[in-house]
Amino acid sequence: MKKSCSDLAIAVVSCLSFAQSVAFAGCYESGGGELQSGRAQKSKLLEPLIDELGQLTQENADTQMYVVQTPDKYYLKVCNEEQHKIHFRTVYGLRGDLANCQLVCNIPSSIGNGIYSYERRATSCPSSCSSACYRKCEVH
């Protein structure tokens, strides 16, 4: 069966419309998903990922930054795609429960050993924060 040009045009427009509707989804991680040597606070990727957290949060409020820190290794991930979040929790054997949540002004200074989730907040920040703050939770 021969397709007409108008059929092709409709298909292209449909594909572009679908691509535009999912353009706000995104996931960025350090080291291709592997633990990296060192401390997350010293990673050259930390600040760009914090910036990306801010950008993705503007487009999708369900964006999270995950930080895994062991005594000598780390992993960073910013994501707003549910399937990637589920995969992250599966890899680290987590249920996804959040505990000991608190608002922090600065991500690097709040990282300790453990697995944490950060969400950017624009309101309800402590007065000590100069701009936005972050909801930091332990992930179990």
1 found inside a domain: no
86 found inside a domain: yes
Give the pLDDT confidence score for residue 132 in this predicted structure. 83
Decide if 111 contacts 135 (C-beta within 8 A).
no
20 found inside a domain: no
More confident residue, 12 or 98: 98
- What are phi and psi for residue 133, nearest 5 degrees? -130, 180
Helix (H, G, I), strand (E, B) or coil at 118: strand
10 found inside a domain: no
Count of structural domains, the chain: 1
90 found inside a domain: yes
User: pLDDT tens, 36-88?
Assistant: 999 999 999 999 999 999 999 988 888 999 999 999 999 999 999 999 999 89
* CB atoms near residue 36 (< 10 Å): 17
Band (25; pLDDT cuts 50, 70, 90): low
109 found inside a domain: yes
Residue 80 tokens read as 């707003």
Give the pLDDT confidence score for residue 19 in this predicted structure. 29
Q: Please give the residue range of the domain that contains residue 60.
A: 26-139
d(CA 57, CA 49): 12
